[in-house]
Amino acid sequence: MTNHKLLAALCYFSVFFAPFLLPGIVYFITDDREVKHHAKRSLVSHLVPVILLIAGFIIYTFSMLSMSSPMDELLLHNNRFNFWQWAPVLFTLIYGLLFLVIVVWNIIQGVKLVK
């Protein structure tokens, strides 16, 4: 195993200790085309959860702004489905599943390079 493959695998494994830092540094420092390719792929896979967290923050904000007090619910007898009431729960489930998939994908890619 060469140092180039180890460095590329380390970019994927950095999801556990330095998600943006290591792949970003490796991408701009290295001259090896294959290592640069893997550093870019791992950096993108590390950025997806952050972008989703920003979207989640927006969802949670809208959810908090659209909440009504329990007294309003009693007075209005409103039995319709409120999307913004369930959006945080749905987002949390989807985010958790996607984050797990991304971590497993990074591990698989890193192990492929180490073999």
> What is the DSSP-derived secondary structure letter of residue 14?
T
Mean pLDDT score, 84-110 = 91
pLDDT of residue 36: 95
Encode pLDDT of 30-39 as tens digits: 999 999 999 9
pLDDT of residue 22: 93
| CA count, 13 A, side-chain hemisphere, 66 | 14
The separation between CA 9 and the C-alpha centre of its own chain, rounded to angstroms, equals 19
Measured CA to CA, the distance from residue 104 to residue 12 in angstroms comes to 10
Beta carbons of 35 and 26 less than 8 angstroms apart: yes
Task: Please say if the pLDDT value at position 48 is more than 80.
Answer: yes
The rounded percent of the chain whose pLDDT value lies above 70 is: 85
Burial environment of residue 47 by CB neighbours within 10 A (0 to 12, 13 to 18, 19 or more): middle
Confidence band (pLDDT; 50, 70, 90) for 106? Answer: very high
Measured CA to CA, the distance from residue 37 to residue 115 in angstroms comes to 18
Q: pTM here?
A: 0.77
Beta carbons of 30 and 7 less than 8 angstroms apart: yes
